[in-house]
Amino acid sequence: MTDFCHEGWSETEPATEEIQRICDEVKGQVEERTNTKYGIFRALQYRSQVVEGMNYLIKIHAGGFIYLHVMVFEAYGGKLSVIGVEEGHTKEDPLVPF
């Protein structure tokens, strides 16, 4: 079971197949927000928060030294929406809600 910490966010965990599936689904939304096409879009880590649905904060490797932190909201029923993207992260940066 996931442990929850400050402000209801889970601890950082390794990405799962489900988190990668979410990333694959929202890749187009992220590319629109950043005005960039990504060849690689691999989920590395994530945190989650139960709200009226689920928030996910995901660290994504987008090729080379490009790491993104992406906030995704999953509504009841499964609709996924990107609610934030932070560029300019490194592999070592912690996942901090923004």
What is the percent of the chain with per-residue pLDDT over 90, rounded to a whole number? 90
**In the CATH hierarchy, which fold is given to the domain comprising 6-87?**
Nuclear Transport Factor 2; Chain: A, (3.10.450)
Write down the pTM of the prediction. Answer: 0.90
The answer to whether the CB of 22 falls within 8 A of the CB of 80 is yes
When pLDDT is cut at 50, 70 and 90, the band that residue 4 belongs to is very low
What is the residue-wise DSSP string for 31-70? HHHHT---S--EEEEEEEEEESEEEEEEEEE-STT-EEEE
Domain ranges of the chain: 6-87
Distance of alpha carbon 12 from its chain centroid, rounded? 11
When pLDDT is cut at 50, 70 and 90, the band that residue 2 belongs to is very low
Query: In the beta sheet, which residues pair with residue 46?
Result: 13, 58
> Whose CA is closest to 60, among 29, 76, 9?
29
What is the per-residue pLDDT for 7? 62
Query: In the beta sheet, which residues pair with residue 48?
Result: 56
